[in-house]
């Protein structure tokens, strides 16, 4: 019998057929601007990124995929270059092509949904990375022929050279087939440079939950890669996907230094659009009167170089 994983406080994300039909009806009645897209960066620093082993950086590829360069390591989060997610075509090209990537040392996976775990992409990655995955996914990776796998439950930590990688809770769910719902875990990853003042929290996919306060008690967080999209209709999505206002609230609870939004504008997984999510985020930021320089909105392929 496979382990079934659960959220904190017993929060259940499953929806009824009636609710699915109601969402479909609402979607048909909505008029959305699907032509205004998140732009590609005009100043992509591909050559510098490919050769970089000294300067810490964060590059947004799209959706939940980032190239993180920290302490000489090249790390990918939830690498997905797929053109399609089910019936939904990717709305914009990835910020970097796979050919433009440096050799990858580490891949971290938040959970098993196809928009976060794509083996078609993984097969094409340069380098020979080690994969850090939630509990329940190791056997799938082994079946696909990958040997360097570290499997994590919530609060597990690993050291890789001078990095510490910790798997922390999220509020979500997962499934890759009709019969494996929640038989693997979900969460976020915190990457800390042991000998340098750098920490990056890749939140993964989540609704708003009390776990943010617990994470803040255990970690000193600097850069927070926070989802803001796929929240509409909120009556349907709120248990699994955080809206922009709650993302700001969570960031404040985490006591982070820099907020970098993600999980918007790449695939149309819900009824909100990328520009809508970004507009709501910026309004919420102003409403809270937070410092402008703490919000770093990246375009696709844009690199944020971190201070040493």
Q: What is the dihedral of CA 81, 48, 109, 224, to 10 degrees?
A: -110
At 173, give phi and psi (nearest 5°).
Answer: -165, 175
Q: How far is CA 25 from CA 28, 34, 107, 182, 273, in A?
A: 5, 19, 39, 27, 18
119, 144 contact by CB (below 8 A): yes
- Residue 199, both tokens: 């920490």
Cβ partners under 8 Å of residue 25, min gap 6? none
Residues 6+ apart with CB under 8 A from 21: none
**8 A C-beta contact, residue 230 and residue 207:** no
Q: Is 251 exposed, middle or buried (0-12, 13-18, 19+ CB in 10 A)?
A: buried
Q: What is the pLDDT along the chain (308 residues), one digit of tens a residue?
A: 689 999 999 999 989 999 999 999 998 889 999 999 999 999 999 999 999 999 999 999 999 999 999 999 999 999 999 999 988 999 999 999 999 999 999 999 999 999 999 999 999 999 999 999 999 999 999 999 999 999 999 999 999 999 999 999 999 999 999 999 999 999 999 999 988 888 999 999 999 999 999 999 999 999 999 999 999 999 999 999 999 999 999 999 999 999 999 999 999 999 999 999 999 999 999 999 999 999 999 999 999 999 86
Going along the chain from its start, the domains and CATH numbers come out as 43-305 (3.60.15.10)
Per-residue model confidence (pLDDT) at position 197? 85
- Report DSSP letters for 76-130, one per residue: EES----SEETTEEPSS--SS-GGGPPPP-EEE----STTT--HHHHTT-SS--E
Q: pTM of the entire structure?
A: 0.97
């Amino acid at each position: 019998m496979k382990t079934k994983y659960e959220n904190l406080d017993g929060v259940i994300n499953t929806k009824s057929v009636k609710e699915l039909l109601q969402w479909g009806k609402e979607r048909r009645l909505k008029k959305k601007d699907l032509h205004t897209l998140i732009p590609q960066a005009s100043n992509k620093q591909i050559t510098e990124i490919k050769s970089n082993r000294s300067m810490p950086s964060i590059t947004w590829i799209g959706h939940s995929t980032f190239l993180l360069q920290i302490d000489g390591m090249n790390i990918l989060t939830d690498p997905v270059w797929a053109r399609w997610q089910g019936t939904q075509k990717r709305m914009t090209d990835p910020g970097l092509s796979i050919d433009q990537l440096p050799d990858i040392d580490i891949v971290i996976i938040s959970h098993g949904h196809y928009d976060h775990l794509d083996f078609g992409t993984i097969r094409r990655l340069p380098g020979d990375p080690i994969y850090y995955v939630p509990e329940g996914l190791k056997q799938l990776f082994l079946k696909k022929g990958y040997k360097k796998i570290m499997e994590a439950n919530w609060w597990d930590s690993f050291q890789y050279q001078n990095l510490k990688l910790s798997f922390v809770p999220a509020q979500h769910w997962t499934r890759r087939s009709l019969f494996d719902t929640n038989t693997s875990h979900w969460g976020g990853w915190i990457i800390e440079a042991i000998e340098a003042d750098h920490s990056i929290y890749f939140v993964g996919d989540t609704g708003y939950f009390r776990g943010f306060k617990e994470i803040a008690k255990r970690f000193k967080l600097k850069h927070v890669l926070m989802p803001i999209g796929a929240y509409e209709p909120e009556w349907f999505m709120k248990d699994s996907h955080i809206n922009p206002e709650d993302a700001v609230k969570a960031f404040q609870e985490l006591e982070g230094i820099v907020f970098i939004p993600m999980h918007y504008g790449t695939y149309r997984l819900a009824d909100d659009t990328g520009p809508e999510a970004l507009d709501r985020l910026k309004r919420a930021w102003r409403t809270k009167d937070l410092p402008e320089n703490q919000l770093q909105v990246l375009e696709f392929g844009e690199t944020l170089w971190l201070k040493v």
